[in-house]
Structure 1
Amino acid sequence: MAGRPATIRGGGISGAQIGLIVFAFISVAALGLFIFQLTRVKELQHRAESAEARIKHLGQPAAPLGTYYDNEATARGSGATVFKLMTEDLERVSQLVAGESKLIAKVLEEQSNELLRQVAATHPISASDTLLTAIRKLDQHATALAETKKSQALELAEAQQNIESLTQQLKAARDEFEDQIADTKSDYERAVADFGSKLAAKDAQVRDLRDLLETREKDLQDLRRAAETDKREWDLERTRRDKQIAGFQRKIEELAGAFDPEAILKKADGRVLRAIPGSALVYINLGANNNIKVGMSFEVFSHTATPNRTLRGKGSIDVVTIMDETAECRITRNDAAQPITEGDIIVNIAYEQGRKPKFVVCGNFDLNYDGQIDPDGAEEIKSMVRRWGGQVVPELDESVDFVVIGTASKVPPLPPYASDIQRDQAERRSLENVEKFEPLKKQAIAMHIPVITQNQFFFLTGYVGQPDRSLYNDRSLGLN
């Protein structure tokens, strides 16, 4: 059976003491718990301050990203933070771009830019394009290449068909060509056989011709020897004839002597029969029987005085009336100091009884003495010669009586704008004219044929004009 509690004796703990001990224990425990809670609060406060400082350091994402990540973290609930969500997005972008989830943005950017530069060097994109833009351009380029490849494939198929067709045509042409070659070969063999027979015949002809050539060569040598003999004899004969001709020429020169201009006057055509003082008419001893014509002119020279060097006479007359043996003439020019008298001789070198004097006319002429060359001057001189009974010949020979010479043909002056080629051509034509003009004078002098000027021709035919007085003292070649 149960007994009651034992009583402490002699100094046991009382209830008050126990209560006091319990109170003290509870107080110590409460104080310890307060200190623990205070330490925990300090720690949490420190951690909150550190978290706030870190958030401040990391910053907040700008709208709309901040709003998006805040809403997304709230929707996911416990454990989802904005930073964690952003980290996951960066990892997915890194995995999508580079195939690795742990690359930072700088590395991704460097690798992307390097790849863009490499691709831009060979493809139609720019190194400054974004990845999406570059991918879009590359896709467009790939699509275009695919279309081109498809078109080329069609063209290739068509080309293959054409090649097959051409191959068939080539085969047909080759077969036809081989047939033609076979026919040609047969023709060639026949032609070779024919050629062989013809060649044998030609060889026989060549032998015959060689024999004939040898015979002709012998005949030619005989003829050459005969020709050499004849040549030696001819050279001897020519030498003998040259010596004879040289002797004849010396005799002719001795007989001819120097040309005398007065010989023209000594061979007068007629004389003045009657001259009436104060009258413009004279009568000469030439008439119809002497073949003179109305309008013919004569130069009158004194029968006593020596003619001057200009060969200008004392007067000029024109035939106006013709009788059988005489003619009435009109004085067209006279000199009061030297009147025309009976016995004066009359001359017209283009007229001669019984023959027609020959003239060569060369050069340009100024018939009216105005300082300008007359385009038809030479033809007018020739017309005068023919009108008075002479004849004009184109070439100089021993039968020519006179050479009427003007001035050398001149090339018209060129304008200032003429080219060097035109000036060279004009100079060449001028030299050619001089080369034709000068030799004629020298040849006539060498042949003792009188060379007279325009003035002298007018003087010796009785032509009345207005001659240039400054030319009266000209010394014509051949009339010194």
Structure 2
Amino acid sequence: SKPTAVHFSLIFFVMTTLIGGVAAYLGYSDLAEANVKLDQAQKDSQRDGVAVRKLDEEIQALKKLIGNEQEEVGLDNKTPNTVIGATELDIKTHADVLAEPTIKNTLIKLSAQLNQTKTELAAEQKAKNDLEAALQQLKSNMDKKVDEHRKARDSSEKDLADTQKVKEEEVGAKDQQIAALQKENEEILIELDQLRETNAKTIKDLENKNNTYASLIDTLRSRLDQVQKYSFEVPDGVVRTVDNSTGVVWINLGEADRLPKRMTFSVYRKAHQGIGRGEEDIIGAIEVTKILGPHLSEARIVGDDIYQPISPGDPIYTPLWGVGRPETFAISGIIDLDGDGKSDMDLLTRIIENANAKIDNQVTENGERTGDGLTVHTKFLVIGESPDVEAAKTDEQRDKMQELLAKMKEIREEARLKAVRVIGINDFLSYIGYKPQRRLFVPGSGVKSPIKQGAKVTGVNDVSTGTVSGAYTRGKGLKQQTSSGQTSKVFGTSN
């Protein structure tokens, strides 16, 4: 704390008391010696007072130099409210990582850092000056380049103006030519429109004639096919042996021919008019049950004609199978194999695929077309039933039926253009030897019975003449009448 007059008075009083005490203690006998000592003590007290004042002045000067003039020095209690505590806090706060335990060392370290920073700043300033000098040099060079380009631009603009003037004169001449050509073109377009109108009628007439001729050709071709029934199909094999008692036959096809089991064949009479021409030459159907050898298989008879039984040497044929080659077919329309009014397309697909054949194009019952188009590898286009548009109950059904008819017509026209043979589903089933399995007729189901109703028309008059044979009208005693030798004119007259 700072010494005051009280402190000095107290010191003086203490010293005086000590002196008085000593004097009283020694007594008056040694008063002279005590006086001497008192004088010396007074001198020492004065000297100590001067030293204390000087020390206080030095402390105050040191506080001002440090910059922290707190009342307490803080030698024993270094808080921020003391000189030492505040000074240490300033060193840590302002010197940061350069802080040292003493002010001198901290100042030395800060001075060294400052000198280093000045050196780096001088180097940066020198680099900056060098860059500015280089920039000025570049600017000078760029100014020269700009002047050169400006002169070149002025020269180019002058040349451009001269060229543009020449081009404008040329464009003017071209515009005149274009105007003349446009006028000529308009006249030509008018003539072309007139020719187009004239030719449109001619083209339409020719198209109508072409469609008429195409329809006529299709009709004539259809009639010719019905009459001639050309066919390039050949038998796949022949029947070698027949056992009519068990309904089993043996054919000359087998393992070496890659014949699969359950393959069905149609059987033709020996004196046929051609394979694959129609149903009239087919006398039965067989299904392979066993492969017995390289060229021998056993088959069961699944259909035959009692008036033309299958016999050895009869040709067999199926379009589904060929030796060493898979066959492909196109299917169009509604496929109903057993006449029950339900689609049998899945069954037909299995029959074809089981024979290692495939369907490459199809017009489904929903009118959708699948496949990439008919090719030379398409063996037949098999046509199923067409929908009855008149039986449609809703507009949606009618639209679907009409769409199916359009697709069927489209694929049939494609077959005609690509020379793919078109056959009906019934002929196809006859060729492959397929026999429908359904035989049950359910009254009221809406499906027609497979059994024909009534007898065929014989051509005999329906009205009786009323005359009964004499064999039934004569009396029992009469003899049998003899024939006159004449027959009914219904069956013709004898020559």
Give the TM-score normalised by the residue count of structure 2. 0.41
Task: Name the larger-Rg structure.
Answer: 1
- Could you tell me the TM-score, scaled by structure 1's length? 0.42
Structure in which a larger fraction of residues adopt helix = 1
Higher RCO (CA 8 Å, separation ≥ 6 residues) = 1
